[in-house]
Each structure stands twice: as structure tokens, then as C-alpha cells.
């Protein structure tokens, strides 16, 4: 209750990982940690869906629905009956 941030859209397929560890470098919330053969997703609930790991992963092992997350723009889209998932513009 009163926590909308437990689940995120971050998905990781360790089988695709080549252990380059770029995701560890770019993540501002320490979601990924080093592993033996593949990077490990240690704290997925810390993800803020910035999309840095997805964009920088050379093997597309990580997917996340990233976006600006501007509440006003999303409310506006919802009120106009548009899909909230569309790329919205933040000011």
C-alpha cells in the first residue's frame, strides 16, 4: 500500500550477457553487480527506468520502458484520452 515503486519494467536476460559490466557503470542506483559469468541484477526495485543500461548494453540483454516520467504530461495525456505511454514532452 502507498508504494507504487515496488515493481519496475526492468527485465534482464543473463543468458545474453557478455559480462562487459557497462550496465554497472551507467546505473545511478546500483541495480547491477559483478558476477562470475554474467552481471547480476541485485536490486531491481531501485530502478528508476532511466534506460541507460538498455541503451548501452551491446547485446540487448536488458530491456526497460524508459521515459521522462513527467507527471503533469502524463496526467495531461490521460485527460485528453491519449495513451499515457506515448513519448511525452516535459517542460
Partner 1 sequence: MTISPTAVEVINIFPTSSKLNAGNTWDHIQARWGIRRGHHRVIPGLYALGKPQPTSPVFVTANYTLSFDALRSALGEMDAYILVLDTQGINVWCAAGKGTFGTAELIRRIEVSRLKDVVNTRILILPQLGAPGVAAYEVKKQTGFRVEYGPIRAEDLPEYLKTHQASREMRTARFNLKDRLVLIPIEFVHVIIPLILATIAMYFLGGLLPALAASMAIFSGVTIFPILLPWLPTKDFSSKGWILGMIVTLPFTLAMIFGNLGPGWWVHAGLALALQLALPVVTAFITLNFTGSTSFTSRSGVKKEIFAYIPWMAGLLGGGILLAISAFLVHTFGRT
> Which of 26, 35, 38, 40 is in the footprint of partner 1 by CB under 8 A?
26
Cα angle 10, 18, 59 (rounded to 5 degrees) comes to 55
Query: What are the cell numbers at 65?
Result: 520502458
Instruction: For cell 491519449, name the residue.
Output: 82
Interface of this chain with partner 1, residues 41 to 80, rule: CB under 8 A: 46-52, 55-56, 58, 65-72, 74-75, 78
Q: What minimum distance in Å lies between the beta carbon of 3 and partner 1?
A: 4
**Which of 17/47 has CB closer to partner 1?**
47
Are 1 and 22 in contact by the 8 Å Cβ rule? The answer is no
Are 57 and 26 in contact by the 8 Å Cβ rule? The answer is no
Residues interacting with partner 1, by CB under 8 A? 1-5, 7-9, 22, 25-30, 46-52, 55-56, 58, 65-72, 74-75, 78, 84, 90
Amino acid at each position: 500500500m502507498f508504494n507504487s515503486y515496488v515493481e519496475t519494467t526492468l527485465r534482464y536476460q543473463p543468458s545474453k550477457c557478455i559480462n562487459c559490466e557497462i550496465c554497472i557503470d551507467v546505473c545511478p542506483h546500483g541495480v547491477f553487480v559483478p558476477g562470475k559469468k554474467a552481471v547480476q541484477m541485485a536490486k531491481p526495485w531501485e530502478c528508476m527506468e532511466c534506460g541507460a543500461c538498455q541503451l548501452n548494453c551491446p547485446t540487448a540483454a536488458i530491456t526497460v520502458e524508459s521515459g521522462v516520467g513527467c507527471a503533469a504530461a502524463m496526467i495531461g495525456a490521460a485527460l485528453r484520452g491519449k495513451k499515457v505511454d506515448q513519448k511525452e514532452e516535459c517542460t
